[in-house]
Amino acid sequence: MVKKLSNSMKVLIGIGVFLLIIVLWFVGLYNGLIKSSTEVEESWANVETQYQRRADLIPNLIEVVKESESFQQETFIDVTKLRSQWQSATTSGDRAQQLQIGEAMGSALGRLLVTVEKYPDLDLDTFKNLQAQLEGTENRVAVARNRYNDRVKVFNVKIRKIPTVIIANMFGYEKQPFFESQPGTENVPKVDFG
């Protein structure tokens, strides 16, 4: 014989099923935040990798350029200083500072390349090889920055949407910074060989 469930038992089962659904929903939202946060970190690591590759190429480029007696010392000092600052920012993990130094390093490298074009007596084969590697690295940096910004956008939207915002606040998830270009980069640089 099949026993009929009492009304109170039906209510308890209903509450249990409801609580199970809530727990599964909560776990799904939390796991989504973990995945999105990890994707942001992975994208940032890719940006750092490209910045580091660029920083590692700089000493080789500088050595080639230093062979010219007329090399502009100021540009050399700027590039060297920025490379050192990059290493410090990487060690400290300050993402905003890394973004700022990465942009400044790109600008200084541009000045370095313009300086080199003034002096045709450099070892052009070596320099052109390094220049090509730097150009490739700059392209990789741009791609990595764009991917990072895409991941940050997804993450930042996710942690501000209801109901995920509740879980994000409970576990301390905060908005991540976007990569933004430095002021003045919208202006075309002027090249003066005089």
Model confidence at 72, pLDDT cuts 50, 70, 90, reads: low
Domain assignment present for residue 194? The answer is no
Domain assignment present for residue 91? The answer is yes
pLDDT at 185: 57
Domain holding 120: CATH number? 1.20.1440.20
Which residue segment(s) compose the domain that 146 sits in? 9-170
CA–CA gap between residue 164 and residue 19 (Å, rounded)? 18
pLDDT at 182: 65
Least confident of 83-87, 99-103, 107-111, 132-136: 107-111
Domain assignment present for residue 139? The answer is yes
Domain assignment present for residue 164? The answer is yes
Mean per-residue pLDDT over the chain, rounded:
80
For the segment 103-125, what is each residue's pLDDT rounded down to a tens digit? 787 777 777 766 666 665 555 66
pLDDT at 193: 40
Domain assignment present for residue 185? The answer is no
* Domains: count for the chain: 1
Domain assignment present for residue 45? The answer is yes
Domain assignment present for residue 178? The answer is no
Model confidence at 191, pLDDT cuts 50, 70, 90, reads: very low
Domain assignment present for residue 192? The answer is no
For the segment 2-53, what is each residue's pLDDT rounded down to a tens digit? 567 788 888 999 999 999 999 999 999 999 999 999 999 999 998 888 888 8
